[in-house]
Amino acid sequence: MRKSLFAVALLLLLGTGNALAQGGVERELSRPIVAFMPLLVRHADALGLTEAQRAWVGEWRATAPARRQAVEQEQLKLRQQLRANVLTGADLSDREAIAEQIGQLETQLVNMRMNCVQAVRENLTAEQYRMLTDLYRSSQAEGDCVPGTSAMCR
């Protein structure tokens, strides 16, 4: 299992080796599973968000990105460290330990993103959530680029 995780991390690492140098940090990190917040903000009126819902969205947007970005920064730091260790031929057990930490942070990021979707679901009515998912599916089908996230751009 450990060797498999290391192999996956190594493939990801080598496949995106120049992403940071090219200014493509988002290529170094995983993409959101579903990016609802940009759509939620953009279509707040059409969704009929109440003042309480708008306040919740504002609060979420004021706090959640900083928490996510802190984890992403740690992951980027570890990827850079792993890259350096691979290139210098550092001890395999050291590289595997870093790869395992990267995997744990990736899991944390995926869970954070899933929790965001769950929080949206819990704070919207069933009809608003259905409308939001329809908007999301439509934006994916049309290749719509949502301001604030490159994850929805094709």
Q: Sketch the domain layout of the chain as residue ranges.
A: 2-7+27-142
For 33-81, how does the pLDDT look when each residue is reduced to its tens digit (9 = 90+)? Answer: 788 999 999 999 999 999 999 999 999 999 999 999 999 999 999 999 9
Helices (H), the chain: 2-15, 25-28, 37-42, 44-47, 51-88, 92-123, 126-142
Token digits for 56? 């919740």
- What pLDDT score does 8 carry? 46
Q: What is the pTM of this model?
A: 0.69
**For 86-133, how does the pLDDT look when each residue is reduced to its tens digit (9 = 90+)?**
999 999 999 999 999 999 999 999 999 999 999 999 999 999 999 999
Distance CA 33, CA 24 (A): 19
3-class SS letters over 12-28: HHHHCCCCCCCCCHHHH
> CATH number of the domain at 2-7+27-142, out of 1.20.120, 1.10.10, 3.90.226, 1.10.287?
1.20.120
